[in-house]
A and B are shown apart, each in its own frame.
Chain A
Amino acid sequence: MTKTFRRKLDLKSGRVDMSHGAGGRAMAELISSIFKDAFGNELLEQGNDQASFPTPAGGRMVMTTDGYVVSPIFFPGGDIGSLAVHGTVNDLAMAGAKPLYLSASYIIEEGFPLGDLKRIADSMGAAARAAGVMIITGDTKVVERGKADGVFISTAGVGVVPDGLALSGDRARPGDKLIVSGSMGDHGVAIMSSRENLTFETEILSDSAALNGLVETIVSAAGPHLRLMRDPTRGGLAATLNELAHQSDVGFRIVEDQIPIKRQVAAACELLGLDPLNVANEGKLVAVVAAEAAEMLVAAMRTHPLGVDAAIIGEAVEDDQHFVQMTTGFGGGRIVDWLAGEQLPRIC
C-alpha cells in the first residue's frame, strides 16, 4: 500500500469497527498503520494479494493467506468451504502462479452442527480437487458459544511461478488496456439476498470459482504483453482499480456501458441503493495488458467457460492523482471511488 492511504488511526481510544474489514480505504489505513509497521519487509512491500519470492533451489514461488468469515455459511452458488479454496487459489493464480498446496484452519463455535461441518469439509475437498490443488495441512480450534459466528476458516496457499513471468500490481502503464473476465457484483448480491435482515430474493448465484484454468489461458495467450491480474473481491471493481492505480502510479478511464453487469444484479443494487462496482466478486479477474494484445486476449478468454463475458472496459492513463474516471452510460463523467465504510443499503 502506498503512502496515499495513510491517515492517523486513533490508537489510544479508537476501536475496530466494521468499516475496517470492508475492503475500502479504512482497511487500507488499518493495514498500513498497524500491520505494515509491525511486519515491514521488502516482500510485504510488494503490496499484492500474495507475495512472490525466490526459492533456495531456484525458481520463484508465491504464498498467500486468507480468512473466511462469510455469513451465511451456505449461500446461493457456494459455501464457506468452496469459497475458501477458490479465494486462496485465485490469490495465487493472480500472480500467474500454478497453485499447488493449501492449508485449512477451522475455528468452530461450540454447538455448531456436525452435519454442517461435514458438508463444508466435503465441499472444500471437492473444490480443491476440481482446482487441482491439495489441502495438505490443517488445524482445528473450538471456541465457546458466542465467540465465533458458526465457523471461520483460515487458509494459506503456495504455488510456483513459471519462469520469466513477473506479474505485479505496479506494472500498469498509460495506454494499457483493462479487461474484466465477466459480470460484476454477482457474489455480493447472492450473499446479500441470503441474509436474514434483507428481504429480497433473486436467482443470482455467487460466481465463486477457481480461476487458475482461466489464468493459464490468459498467460499463454498474452505472453509478455500481460502486465498484471487481480481478482476484484471485497470492495468490488472500484476498490481493485483504485488499488492498482495507486500501486502503478497511473489513472484509469473506464466506460460504464462496457462493464458487464447482470440485469438482476443491477436491479438488486437499484433497490438497495448500492453501486455494483463496489460489490464483491469471487470468480472474476481484472487483467491489464499492453494495448496491442488486448483484442486477441479477450478473444482467447472468451473460449474459456469462466471468460465468456470478458470485455475491454477501459485503459490506464497518466494521472498523478490516480483517479479512476468513468464515462457514464448517460454521457457524463464521474469518478469511481473506493467504497466509504461498509456496503450498506441506503434509503436516501
Chain B
Amino acid sequence: MCLAVPALVTELLPDNMAKISLDGVSMTISVALVKNVAVGDYVIVHVGYALSKVDPDEARRTLDLLDEARGVPLAAGGVR
C-alpha cells in the first residue's frame, strides 16, 4: 500500500507545513514528521505528509548499482 512520491520542498510555511512541487504541480503538506526539512530537499510524500527525506548520494548509488548489474549479462555473454 501507501502511494508516496518524492517531491521538492519549495517553501517552508508556519505550523510545520511546507509547499512541495512535483514537476510544476504544487501542494501544501505537513512536515511535522521529518526533522530539519529545508527548501531544496526532496521528501517522500504520502497522504499530504512528508515521511522521510531523499538522500541524493544514496539515490546516485542506487543508479550505480543498477548500472553495475546491467554489466553482468554483457560480461556473462563475453567472458564466462
Q: List the interface of chain A (C-beta within 8 A of B).
A: 193, 199-203, 263-264, 266-268, 270-271, 273, 346-348
Contacts and interface: CB of A to CB of B under 8 A. Distances in A.
Leading 4 A-B pairs by shortest Cβ distance:
A348-B1, A267-B23, A200-B27, A267-B22
Given A347-B46, A347-B47, A271 B27 contact: yes
Q: Which of A264, A266, A347 has the most CB of B within 10 A?
A: A347
Interface of B: 1-3, 5, 7, 22-28, 45-48
Nearest to B6: A270
Contacts of B28: 199
A203 B24 contact: yes
Contacts of B47: 347
Contacts, number: 44
A348 B25 contact: no
Given A264-B25, A348-B1, 18 more contacts: A199-B27, A199-B28, A200-B25, A202-B24, A263-B23, A263-B24, A264-B23, A266-B23, A268-B22, A268-B25, A271-B5, A271-B7, A271-B22, A271-B25, A273-B3, A347-B2, A347-B3, A348-B3
A92 B45 CA distance: 44
Contacts of B46: 347
B1 to A, nearest CB: 4
A266 B3 CA distance: 15
Contacts of A266: 23
Contacts of A200: 25-27
A270 B22 contact: yes
Contacts of B3: 273, 346-348
Given A199-B28, A271-B45, A348 B23 contact: no
A348 B5 contact: no
Contacts of B7: 271
B18 to A, nearest CB: 13
Contact of B24 (A199, A267, A346): A267
Contacts of A267: 22-25
B37 to A, nearest CB: 18
A172 to B, nearest CB: 34
Most chain A CB neighbours (cut-off 10 Å) among B22, B25, B27, B47: B25
A339 to B, nearest CB: 17
Nearest to A269: B25
Contact of A270 (B1, B2, B5): B5
Nearest to A189: B25
Contact of A201 (B1, B2, B27, B48): B27
Nearest to B48: A199
A347 B27 CA distance: 15
Contacts of B23: 263-264, 266-267
A347 B46 CA distance: 7
Nearest to A273: B3
Contacts of B27: 199-201, 271
Contacts of A263: 23-24
A142 B28 CA distance: 38
Nearest to A345: B3
B21 to A, nearest CB: 9
A64 B17 CA distance: 49
10 contacts: A199-B28, A199-B48, A200-B25, A200-B26, A201-B25, A202-B26, A267-B23, A271-B5, A271-B7, A271-B25
A307 B57 CA distance: 42
